[in-house]
Amino acid sequence: GQKRRNAVWGDDPEVQAMCELYDRPAEIWGFDPKAGARKLRTFHETSGSNHDRQPMRLSYYGGGHYDSIVGPGHAENVSRAAPGVTEQARIEWSRARAACSDVEETKQQSDVAATEAAELDLALAASRSDFDRQAVDLECIFSEVQQLEWATSQADLERTNEELVHSIAAQSAREHDRVQDLEALKRSEELELQQALAMSSQGATASGADDEQLQRALAMSAAGGDDFERALALSSAQVGAGGAADASADELQRALAMSAAEAGPTGLDPELEIALALSSNEGGGGFTADEDDEVMRAIALSRQGFS
């Protein structure tokens, strides 16, 4: 923008453009009244294609004014081409370089895009690998959980089976104990029965004498019954004959006395006692018909008492 002003000359950009246009470096010299001439600046000195060419030397006097310094060998470095040919060639070269630069830039951009795409692919692959690893880890976790649940269910089943076996064993033991108790009770009852039978046999043996005495008493009672029958017959004969009563009175008294003796001191029937008393009071004079009935009733009652 400054070059468009009056009295303003080009500075570094123009010098740099001249160096690129003619492919030569440039040296800016200045004059110092004390030190003399001295080099102030250089341009385009690092270009790879200008090492065999002499630099352009310019003298700077301030105010943007440059003068060309002509030294030894100046003519040898002056271009022999027609004016504008060298400049046009450099312009074409610059355009080609720009195009190549664009291509290179495009290539670089393509390389960057490819690199970014490759990096994206790598990132996606890493993400996919991480996802697959997490899926595998989840499957492993689920598998471990399933194995743990299976082991827990197996342990519960084994514990249930063990408890069932213990319950069955306990019930079997109780049944066995109950059977043993029943058998023991049965043996105890059989033993008690045998002891009772033995005691009964011993009691029967010990009471044999009493049974014999009882048999004798029954025989005596039967004998006494014969005497009663005889007394009844005598009484009937006395009632029928009248005068024979005195002859059988003694036998009747003896029969009544034997009955009284067999009955014991406390077992004599009251009517039999009356009959004995009547017999004693009559003293051999015989019984009347009423008295005879009483005697017969007394003897019958006595026989019922001993039968």
Closest CA to 29 of 55, 54, 60, 56: 60
Instruction: Decide if 158 is inside a domain.
Output: no
Domain boundary residue, one of 78, 110, 135: 78
User: For every one of its 307 residues, what pLDDT tens digit does the chain have, with 9 covering 90 and above?
Assistant: 555 666 555 567 888 888 888 888 888 888 888 888 888 888 877 665 555 778 888 888 776 678 888 878 777 878 888 888 988 988 888 888 777 777 777 777 777 787 888 888 888 888 888 888 877 777 787 778 888 888 888 889 898 999 999 999 999 999 999 999 999 999 999 999 999 998 888 765 655 555 565 566 556 555 555 555 565 555 555 544 444 445 455 655 665 566 555 555 444 455 555 555 555 544 444 455 565 666 667 666 655 554 5
Q: Is residue 125 domain-resident? A: no
Which conformational region is residue 264 in: left (phi greater than 0), alpha (psi within -120 to 50 degrees), or beta? left
Give me the domain span that covers residue 244.
212-306
Residue 216, in any domain of the structure: yes
Has residue 161 been placed in a domain? no
Chain centroid to Cα 287, Å, comes to 112
Query: Do the domain assignments include residue 226?
Result: yes
Q: Which amino acid is at 95?
A: R
- Residue 20's domain is classified under what CATH number? 3.90.70.80
Reduce the DSSP state of residue 46 to 3 states and report it: coil
Give the count of domains, the chain.
2
Domain boundary among 56, 78, 100: 78
Strand partners, 28: 41, 58
Is residue 299 within 8 Å of residue 246, measured between CB atoms? no
Of 196, 259, 203, 199, whose CA–CA distance to 226 is shortest?
Answer: 259
Cα separation, 202 vs 204, whole angstroms:
5
Two tokens at 163?
A: 């408890």
The answer as to whether 177 is a domain residue is no
* Domain termination site, one of 63, 78, 93: 78
Question: Which pTM was predicted?
Answer: 0.32
In a domain, 137, yes or no: no
Task: Let me know: does 13 contact 44? Beta carbons within 8 Å.
Answer: no
Radius of gyration of the chain (CA): 86
Within a domain: 225: yes
